Amino acid sequence: MDVPKGQPQPVSRKWRLTGWLLAAVWLFFLNVPLGTALGQAEPWRKWLGIGTLVAFGVAYVLLFEWARAHRQAGRPIPRGRAAASLLGLLALGLVGIPGTGADWMTTLVFVATAGVFLLPAVWALVVVVLAALTPLVAGYLVPGWSGVSGVFFAVLLASFAMFGVAALAQRNGELRAAQREISRLAVAEERARTARDLHDILGHSLTVVAIKAELAGRLVEVDPSRAVAEIAEVEQLARAALADVRGTVGAYRGVRLADELAGARSALTAAGITADLPAELPELPAERDTLFGWAVREGVTNVVRHSGARHCTIRVEPDAVEVSDDGRGPTAQAEAAGHGLVGLRERAQRLDATVSVGRRPQGRGFVLRVGLPAGAR
């Protein structure tokens, strides 16, 4: 099932159950005040103590799970609601004093741990200190409550443990957020790659198809046999473009420099541009051969579309490829068609290569050059 963008990933049923158990297992420590309530001789004290402890336990578990859900989803816990919830827990503990006696202070352990899980570190520390000092102060001020000093240590130990639980929940939430971001970026990168490849493939192929179709139209009356040959090539180009699109979508398409040079010769000839191409090619690593193939495709496409040139030269060296013409050079129209150059630069960056475009140093014309740093292999 797809998850909408920005929404938390679904949590498995096993982990949801684990979260509930993690909160509920702490309720075991309410057995001391519960035993005190069950031992009350007066029914109203007994049931008041039991009722407040049950309400306290349910409220604590729900509060813990609510806070955990916020942390896992990467959402901030509202401070107002957190403070109100802590005061509610404290009030339930205080209301149960007639039934639980001095043992009500066991609930302070839960108030302290909830504060750690709900509040920022500074405020959580304040809650823990107050909860830890309350048994000591109450034991000194209230006769008969001196035997609960052990709650002081219980508050400190439980709060320390909850700091670890809170940190773990926070890190899990951050990890889930990072995983969602990685997934989003991966999808965006794949879409960009597909869009770039389709632009480069269709831009070149459709340009050649348009030129050959125009040439065939001019030859219909003066040279029908050649017009038929050009139309046949248009059909072959269209089928090849369709195969390239399918290959790109399937992520298995490759580009070879030799094939691109052959296609460049055909495209330039159909456009009436004299092609000066290398007779032999140097041995190139596979990745460099592919990059140079893309450079030839992009350069020739721009020459045919925008240059108005009569002559185009392609030079291939072990560490560079260059496409130049004697046309009018860069124009506003050529700059507007810069999507292919963007894609070419992205490909070049993977090999630490550079892409330079502009006017030729001598005379009229435009030059596209892709070069690798000196010493690259």
Structural domain includes residue 157: yes
Q: Which pLDDT score, from 0 to 100, does residue 309 have? A: 85
Of 123 and 377, more confident: 123
CATH of the domain at 327: 3.30.565.10
Structural domain includes residue 145: yes
> What are the tens digits of pLDDT across the range 245-269?
666 655 545 678 998 898 888 888 8
> What are the tens digits of pLDDT across the range 204-250?
667 777 777 777 787 777 788 887 887 877 777 777 776 666 666 55
Out of 152, 182, 212, a domain closes at 182
b/e for 239-250, b at 16 or more Cβ within 10 A? Answer: ebbeebbeebee
Q: Which pLDDT score, from 0 to 100, does residue 195 have? A: 66
* Tokens representing residue 323 in the block: 């496409």
Structural domain includes residue 257: no
Out of 182, 205, 226, a domain closes at 182
Structural domain includes residue 208: no
Structural domain includes residue 196: no
* Domain enclosing residue 149, as ranges: 13-182
Give percent of the chain with pLDDT exceeding 90. Answer: 14
What is the bridge-based pairing of β-strands 320-325 and 366-371?
Answer: antiparallel
Strands (E), 222-292: 274-276
Domain count, the chain: 2
- What's the full length of the chain, in residues? 377
Out of 131, 158, 182, a domain closes at 182
> What are the tens digits of pLDDT across the range 119-157?
888 888 898 899 888 888 877 777 766 655 677 888 888
Cβ atoms within 10 Å of 195's Cβ, excluding its own: 13
Cβ atoms within 10 Å of 41's Cβ, excluding its own: 6
Whether 33 and 133 map to the same domain: the answer is yes
Instruction: Answer whether residue 292 shows pLDDT above 90.
Output: yes
Q: Among 157-171, 315-329, 334-348, name the most confident range.
A: 315-329
Structural domain includes residue 233: no
Q: Which pLDDT score, from 0 to 100, does residue 252 have? A: 47
Long-range contacts of 9-15 (CB under 8 A, 24+ apart): 9/176, 9/179, 9/180, 11/72
Tell me the pLDDT band of 9, cut-offs 50, 70 and 90: very low
pTM above 0.75, yes or no: no
Structural domain includes residue 287: yes
